[in-house]
Amino acid sequence: MILFAGVDAGGTTTRAALHTADGTRLGYGTAGPGNPAAHGVAAAGAAIEQALRRALGGRDPSRVAASVAGVAGADDGFAAVLARVWAACGLASPPRLVSDVDVAYASGTPSPSGTLLLAGTGAAAARFSGRVVAGVADGLGWLLGDEGGGFWIGREGVRAAVRALDRGLPGGPLIELVSAHFGATGEPRRRADRIVRLAQADRMLVAAASPLVSEAAMAGDARAGGIVGQAARRLVATVDRLPGDGPTVLAGGVLTADGPVRAAVMRLLAGRDVVTARDGAAGASWLAALDRRGVLGAHPRFTAGR
């Protein structure tokens, strides 16, 4: 029995999966952040090794016929790090190194052509043709782009709250949720100053406000509802800059979690072939099987787990 291994190493979690050729999942493991650009090559390599060992469990690693690692923020040098990790784990050959975008797309569809719309903390779209990225839109970072992503939504929500506090405008769910998130109490200008100080000191606090915008929108907050609508329109505008055949795969926490942003994007994409990304490690494992066998068909089984 030959096996296939897939890894999806992201900025928050690293996931690894082990499958048989027919798509039966035999093992699964997770570990901490595996993005070498954000967390360093050594830490990323260690997280990937940990997830991979957990996925292998007690199975014979020499049975792994092919593997694919999708790593966010990897450069060419990281392939050598992965080769050492794979050898240390007893696998016969190193993985094919692809990006997190490749495995996210592969987790959603077996189609060689289509478009990925990814909105986690950041936001980007990628056009695939023959399973290779043929074009990218946005992904321009938290300061200047990533329009409609988690950081963008959080920043717009925090900004709206701070402006309302500074201007003495009426309160509401968004202002209350954002104030509580930053531990801001007292008179409005004092609350605004505290939020500004903490937000500037720790950008992740701003990204973490993204779910509060969704929560406030569901509670009927008009400002939050406006931000949700803007985010959805910007995300769809980004994917619309990469037209072509095949499905649109929605990936990333903002678009895969049930909530008002996903719902608004689904409404805007109504009538198109839209699928939701599944587990990235399963997508990577399926790509590994595809590399080795050159056939399709087992995709739904590979990605059925989790």
Q: Which is nearer to a second copy, 160 or 289 (CB)?
A: 160
For residue 305, the minimal CB distance to a second copy (Å) is: 35
Shortest distance, position 154 Cβ to a second copy, whole Å: 11
Q: Can you say whether the dihedral through the CA atoms of 256, 125, 8, 131 is positive or negative?
A: positive
- Name the minimum Å distance from CB 228 to a second copy: 19
CB closer to a second copy out of 199 and 249: 199
Residue with tokens 């059925």: 304
Q: 196 or 218, CB closer to a second copy?
A: 196
Burial 226-250 (b: 16+ CB within 10 A, else e): ebbebbbebbbebbeebeeeebbbb
Q: Given the complex with a second copy, which of 3 and 116 has the nearer CB atom?
A: 116
State whether residue 104 is helix, strand or coil: helix
Cα pseudo-dihedral 47, 127, 149, 231, rounded to 10 = -160
Residue with Cβ nearer a second copy (56 or 212): 212
Nearer CB in complex with a second copy: 93/200: 200
Q: How far is the CB of 188 from a second copy (least distance, A)?
A: 12
Q: How far is the CB of 37 from a second copy (least distance, A)?
A: 10
CA 124/CA 107 separation, integer angstroms: 17
**Minimum distance from CB of 45 to a second copy (Å)?**
23
Q: Which is nearer to a second copy, 53 or 234 (CB)?
A: 234
Q: What is the closest distance, in whole angstroms, from the C-beta atom of residue 38 to a second copy in the complex?
A: 12
Residue placing its CB nearer to a second copy in the complex, 96 or 159: 159
Cα separation of 222 and 47, whole Å?
42
Where is 126: in which H helix or E strand? strand 123-129
Q: Is 72 exposed, middle or buried (0-12, 13-18, 19+ CB in 10 A)?
A: buried
C-alpha gyration radius of the chain = 21
C-alpha distance from residue 125 to each of 105, 119, 164, 252 (Å): 10, 9, 33, 11
Shortest spacing between CB 98 and a second copy, in angstroms: 19
Query: Is the separation of the CB atoms in 241 and 148 below 8 Å?
Result: no
**269 torsion bin: left (phi>0), alpha (psi -120 to 50), beta (else):** alpha
Give contact residues for a second copy (rule: CB under 8 A).
136-138, 140-145, 155, 158-159, 162-163, 166-167, 189, 192, 195-197, 199-200, 203, 206, 241
